[in-house]
Amino acid sequence: MTRSAPITAPAADALPPSPRPVERRPRRKPRRVTAHPVAGALFVLPFFLVVVAFLVVPLGYAFWLSLSSKSLALGTRFTGIDNYVRAFTDPLLLDGLLRVVLFGLVQIPVMLGIALAGALTLDAVTTRLALAFRLIAFMPYAVPAVVGALMWGFLYSRTFGPFADLPTLVGGDPIDFFSASLLLVSLGNIVTWAWTGYNMIILYSALQGVPREMYEAAVIDGATPVQIALRVKVPAIKQAISLAVIFTVIGTMQFFTEPQIMARFAPQVSAGYTPNLYAYNQAFAYSDFHYSAALSFALGFLVFVVAYAFVFVSHRRGARS
């Protein structure tokens, strides 16, 4: 039986050094951020003053004008909602409103359809010509509306316009773009020319935010470019399309500049051709500012109802789908 070696204690130098005690520093109390409501109010005050001075006060004054009437015999007197009752039963206003609604039912789908087709084309084309095409398409929007309407008025002219005599080259009669049957079409062409590029840029910007993985997945599934555009891209930018529709509807209800300029060329453009033109003429041609204010507020209320109805229907359809 062998004897095991005696166990000896390790030398002091071989022992590992004992860890130093960790010094615990006292935790600093979080710095308390004090709110300064006065400083915040001072930052907001300039914007608030501008809104009150240039929006709230003029609207309040216009609303007060709409609730009163002025005559030579009785002077200015409070009449309540009489001006609004007169506005909603005015045949000239109702005719102009119907004309604008019919105009929008045709012009809005045509313009937004062209804008959507242009945006989809730009999104599919990656050549250097895409930037030039975007600039060319957006350029009419940069032209002031008055200048654009005057330019098209000269182009439509039967005297020196380049389009009126085109049918005579094939034995036809000259085109009268200012006739009662073609005047709305001529105005629609001006509006489409001016605003298609603006809406196209909005839709194109929305397309740039769509993830490219969606397109790659559709290509792997065997989808054609047309199917990708209609079934992937268009549903992905529904919100942008709805926004463009709302802006276009509001702009159509406020149709003013083009008819006002075309009145110089077309005698069919009467004082009540559109609701905005009717309100303008009531104020600055007949000096009936009280009734003009009521017409303006009535038109604003109609625009709000139409825009809200469209948004409500769009949200209901989106929730169902």
**Overall pTM surpassing 0.75 (yes/no):** yes
CB atoms within 10 A of CB 311: 14
Q: Answer yes or no: is pLDDT of 14 > 60.
A: no
> How many CA atoms within 13 Å lie on the side-chain side of 125?
15
Q: Which domains does the chain show, CATH number per domain?
A: 40-78 (no CATH), 89-320 (1.10.3720.10)
From the list 110, 317, 124, the residue with the least C-alpha distance to 233 is 124
User: pLDDT tens, 175-220?
Assistant: 888 888 889 999 999 999 999 999 999 999 999 888 888 888 888 8
pLDDT confidence of residue 273: 92
Measured CA to CA, the distance from residue 317 to residue 267 in angstroms comes to 44
Measured CA to CA, the distance from residue 246 to residue 307 in angstroms comes to 6
Measured CA to CA, the distance from residue 175 to residue 181 in angstroms comes to 11
Q: What is the mean pLDDT of residues 240-255?
A: 91
Q: Answer yes or no: is pLDDT of 1 > 50.
A: no
Q: Answer yes or no: is pLDDT of 137 > 60.
A: yes
For residues 173 and 167, the answer to whether their CB atoms sit within 8 Å is yes
Q: Answer yes or no: is pLDDT of 226 > 90.
A: no
From the list 283, 289, 258, the residue with the least C-alpha distance to 273 is 258
pLDDT confidence of residue 10: 53
Please provide the average confidence, as pLDDT, over all residues in the chain.
84
Measured CA to CA, the distance from residue 178 to residue 190 in angstroms comes to 13
